[in-house]
Chains A and B, each alone.
Chain A
Amino acid sequence: MPEPPDNRALCWAAAAFAGGLLLNIDHLPVWVSAAALVLIVWRLAATVARVPVPGMIARTVLAAAVVVAVLTRFHTLNGLAAGTALLVLMAALKLLETFRRRDRLVLVGAGLFLLLAACLDRQSLARAPLYLGETWLACTALAVIASDGFPGRAALALAGRTLLLALPLAVLLFLFFPRLAGSFWAVPRAEEAVTGLSDTMSPGGIGKLSTSYDVAFRVRFEGALPPTEQRYWRGPVLHDFDGSTWRRGSGGGSARVAPEPGSGRAYRYQVALEPSYHLWWFALDTPAKSPDAGVTLTRDYELRTARPVSDPTSYEALSYTGAREDSPPSPWERFLDTALPHGRNPRSLELARALRTRAGSDAAFITAALEFLRSGGFVYSLEPEVLGAEQVDDFLFRTRTGFCGHYASAFAVLMRAAGVPARVVTGYLGGEWNPSGGYLIVRQSDAHAWVEAWLEGRGWTRIDPTAVVEPERLQRSALDLLPEAMSASTRLLRASPWLVDLMQRWDAANAWWNDRVVKFNYATQIDVLERLGIHSPDALTLGWAFGLVLLGWLAVIAWYLGRSMRPRRPDAIAQAYALLCRKLALTGLRRAPYQGPLAYAEALRAASPALTEGAAALLAQYAQLRYGVPEPATRAHDIEQFARAVRRLRIRLGRTAAATAQVR
């Protein structure tokens, strides 16, 4: 049976689909989104302005082209990114042939699937309301599609009310629905845009990162915080230098020696890492041990993971500041950490050798080299001049303007030139205290690079040449020191104290969200149950508890929905009349639906004359009260008197079928 075209339902279905598309627009290729939007507009234009819609053959060709295009772009139809792109394009094509109710439902289904894809892609707090909006939109579309001509606003209200009622169950299920400890099938993850520190460093690289205000991780300390100048967060350690770029080289393997606490103290803390799609975690100064079985503590005290950090991750760690590692590097390591590209940066090498000869010891040489940086007119800047081919020479003797990467790189080269084993450590320095959340926010703008040199008797020693040039960097973030590097929006955010405060609260909310909602998993679920007093819960108990909770919720829903469906309470007259009729029905003569009170009295009188005195009078009184001219003065009293009389009426069933009624 052909259905009439329902343009409003089509528009709502298209809106639900477009909503799903918009949620995914940031991780879909631009051409996919653009094509889908064009198709949506085309279809809507076809309903409004009778623009022709492509025929069957054209659509088939388009569908084939879409599959080929997606395959060309992603080399697979599997996986989140490719699957989403394919779903978007196919659903958009489906829109062109949406003429029946079933087709519109398919579009809403696609919208819901896109919501799922968006959830799998991003789970941030800021996006949650958008996801909720899309759910609302899809449910409204369902309502409009289900009933032709259901007005949009009523459908919105209906869907909103239904979702509100569903919310308690969603929360309950979220908390108690059994989660998986593992997964059913391996999760193919697409290559994502990686953020944060990489495992190579060219002098300008960190400067670019430093303008980003994004959060790298958040840290919550047990007990006191380390002093500001000791908040060095260790990341990749770089050994290989080719004249312009530092690389990690062949570093790896477990730490040979567990670090000793040394002169510093131990810190226990919890790190909540934002997804970076890199292979490392960060730890304060020298981590004592690996925080997780899947993470290796390398001999350079890096925390290296097996899989990229693709989800918000949190871990507990223990670190020492001022720890020492006394075993000297092997000759091979000593060779690696003093190696320099052959024949490059001759002036720097010459300077290093001269300083070393004058100094007499490695420690004195380091002091001299730092003194050279301090007194040489060096400037700390995020926008240094471009360096020439001999980068280190050019920096040390010509531009003398640079960022932490420049200083770390140049200093390590000086060390190596003088035969002191040195390596570049990248990571973060500092962190912003968030008073609303009680934790430290470490941002990408805190990215930093420093040097570690091997000194006889002291082991690997941290030397931060940047701190010599710009001592303030130890106390404040790079962005505070170089406000001109901030993007306009960041500058605006940091301009007024209440905005900063607001941002910190927002960040605390985000941290809470990541911690409590996004990372809610099997382990936390068990934890919640234990806190509720359910220890080592077995499936049966849980099932029963869950069933009871579900039934309770259903009862509340049924009560709530039933409330609005209940008929209006009849007034006192009608109630008394209903009671009268019920009593009189005991005589065996029930009032027929078509009988009025007087006709009923007549019928009763005919059937059993004994009834007439009481019952007929009451029926007549009812007729008078209901249909007669009311006397305002005595009406309330009359009604009360009538009701009382009805209540007092007694029906006596005689031995014969005849009954008597009397008013006491």
Chain B
Amino acid sequence: MAVWVRRRQGADVLPVTLARRRLYILPTRAGMAFAFLWVLMLLAGLNYGNSLALFFTFLMAGFALVAMNDCHRNLLGLTLVSVSAPAVFARSAGSLLLTLENPALRTRPGMQAALDDGPLVGVDLPPHGRGRLELPLTPARRGIVRIDRLRLTSSHPFGLFRTWTWVHLAVEVLVYPHPHGSLPRPITSGRHPGESSRSGSGLDEWMGLRLFRDGDSPRQVDWKAYARGAPLLVKEYSPAGADLCLFDFAQLRIPDIEARLSQLARWVVDAEAGGERYGLTLPGVQLAPNRGPEHRHRCLAALALYGIEDA
């Protein structure tokens, strides 16, 4: 089925607007039960020659057909605007973010989406509005998770039918190694190796304040100033005086590669959280000491992709 559908529809390019040809619809289990009940009602009505029973049986038949049409309509014309996949740590909960757009004048309630084996997540789309869905994703291993198809579905309004479509998008989710390990962080003071004694205190040289920028650690925000009514300010410390960590893959004495990567990831996360400067050395990869979310991502990505061919 999946192969046939893939061949039939081809790959999709965002934004995907759901056309009639790619919508599938089948009765749900409740719908089957309803059909069974309906047949019983029909037989009884015919047998007793009871006009009123037959009328209501036929009314229910019309009801089911309208409901089927309505269910199909609920998905038709919907647009999948974007799919974004923030990087996620292995074995922790991440999510795939979908943005759906409803171009119609009518609310589309009960829109649902799911990954192939994931749970259904639902949202109501207002008229001419957008809705965001977060599909939970918990990858087991680091590397790249390829999601090649999503299911958009709805059983609104009466749950008797479920209409769905598959969207084939090459979405890649970068999975960082699971940060784990208890070895102490190797700390080296970059420019002043002799002054390492100061580093334990965690006190850096005060430089001044600057305006908050996206990505700044909340730890560095001058909350007291903020409480006094000042704008969000960030305390800056001299990088020269900051601790400098160098994490080297080759120097770790852990035999298992994955465990080693996990330990490195742990250190990167902790160092970044501690506001330290850190660098990373992997076979073939050299990341100079720095800090900030971008640097952190670069380090973790290098760890995630270490030894993976088609990175």
Which parts of A509-561 form the interface with B (CB within 8 Å)? 517-522, 554, 557-558, 561
Contact indicator per residue, chain B 86-115, by CB within 8 Å of chain A (1) or not (0): 000000000000000001111001100000
- Which residue of chain B lies nearest to A154 when distances are taken between CB atoms in the complex? B109
* Contact (Cβ within 8 A) A174 B55: yes
Contact indicator per residue, chain A 133-176, by CB within 8 Å of chain B (1) or not (0): 00100010011011100100000001100110111111001100
* Contact (Cβ within 8 A) A593 B47: no
* Contact (Cβ within 8 A) B109 A150: yes
B51 contacts which of A517, A557, A558, A566 (Cβ < 8 Å)? A517
Which parts of A548-595 form the interface with B (CB within 8 Å)? 554, 557-558, 561-562, 564-568, 593
A167 contacts which of B40, B59, B155, B157 (Cβ < 8 Å)? B59
* Contact (Cβ within 8 A) A162 B160: no
A56 at the interface (CB under 8 A from B): no
* Contact (Cβ within 8 A) A105 B33: yes
* Contact (Cβ within 8 A) A183 B70: no
Stretch of A108-116, A366-374, A615-623, A655-663 on the interface side: A108-116
B77 at the interface (CB under 8 A from A): yes
Instruction: Tell me how far the C-beta of B67 lies from the nearest C-beta in chain A, rounded to whole angstroms.
Output: 6
Contacts of A177 in B (CB 8 A): 54, 58
* Contact (Cβ within 8 A) A187 B47: yes
Given A147-B159, A174-B54, 11 new contacts (CB under 8 A)? A105-B30, A112-B37, A116-B41, A116-B44, A116-B53, A159-B158, A167-B59, A170-B56, A180-B47, A520-B51, A557-B69
B76 at the interface (CB under 8 A from A): yes
Contacts of A491 in B (CB 8 A): none
Contact indicator per residue, chain B 238-259, by CB within 8 Å of chain A (1) or not (0): 0000000000000000000000
Q: Can you identify 12 A-B contacts, CB atoms within 8 angstroms?
A: A105-B33, A109-B37, A143-B158, A146-B156, A170-B56, A174-B54, A180-B47, A184-B46, A557-B65, A565-B106, A566-B77, A568-B128
A562 to B104, CA, bound (A): 10
Instruction: Tell me how far the C-beta of B135 lies from the nearest C-beta in chain A, rounded to whole angstroms.
Output: 16
B297 at the interface (CB under 8 A from A): no
* Contact (Cβ within 8 A) B109 A147: yes
**Shortest beta-carbon contacts, A-B, top 7:** A166-B62, A146-B159, A169-B62, A567-B103, A173-B58, A119-B53, A170-B59
Task: Known contacts A165-B66, A166-B66, A180-B47; decide if A135 and B59 are in contact (CB<8 Å).
Answer: yes
Contacts of A131 in B (CB 8 A): 52, 56
- Which residue of chain B lies nearest to A147 when distances are taken between CB atoms in the complex? B110
Contacts of B158 in A (CB 8 A): 139, 142-143, 146, 159, 162
Contacts of B128 in A (CB 8 A): 568
Contacts of A398 in B (CB 8 A): none
Contacts of B61 in A (CB 8 A): 166, 169-170, 173
* Contact (Cβ within 8 A) A183 B48: yes
A120 to B43, CA, bound (A): 12
* Contact (Cβ within 8 A) A116 B56: yes
Contacts of B30 in A (CB 8 A): 102, 105, 146
- Which residue of chain A lies nearest to B30 when distances are taken between CB atoms in the complex? A105
Instruction: Tell me how far the C-beta of A420 lies from the nearest C-beta in chain B, rounded to whole angstroms.
Output: 48
Contacts of B51 in A (CB 8 A): 123, 174, 517-521
Instruction: Tell me how far the C-beta of A465 lies from the nearest C-beta in chain B, rounded to whole angstroms.
Output: 44
Interface majority SS (helix, strand, loop, mixed), chain B: helix
* Contact (Cβ within 8 A) B58 A554: no
- Which bracket fits the contact residues of B? 35 or more
* Contact (Cβ within 8 A) B50 A180: no
A115 to B52, CA, bound (A): 10
A195 to B56, CA, bound (A): 28
Contacts of A500 in B (CB 8 A): none
Contacts of A31 in B (CB 8 A): none
Contacts of A517 in B (CB 8 A): 51-52, 55
Contacts of B62 in A (CB 8 A): 163, 165-170, 173
B194 at the interface (CB under 8 A from A): no
Task: Known contacts A162-B66, A170-B55; decide if A120 and B50 are in contact (CB<8 Å).
Answer: yes
Contact indicator per residue, chain B 279-298, by CB within 8 Å of chain A (1) or not (0): 00000000000000000000
* Contact (Cβ within 8 A) B155 A146: yes
* Contact (Cβ within 8 A) A123 B52: yes
B49 at the interface (CB under 8 A from A): yes
Contacts of A183 in B (CB 8 A): 46-49
B275 at the interface (CB under 8 A from A): no
* Contact (Cβ within 8 A) A184 B43: yes
Q: Indicate the member of B30, B43, B110, B155 with the most A CB atoms within 10 Å.
A: B30
A184 to B49, CA, bound (A): 10
B46 contacts which of A119, A135, A179 (Cβ < 8 Å)? A179
A332 to B74, CA, bound (A): 82
B45 at the interface (CB under 8 A from A): yes
A120 to B57, CA, bound (A): 12
Contacts of B40 in A (CB 8 A): 113
Q: Indicate the member of A177, A517, A518 with the most B CB atoms within 10 Å.
A: A177
A119 to B41, CA, bound (A): 11
A521 to B44, CA, bound (A): 14
A142 to B63, CA, bound (A): 12
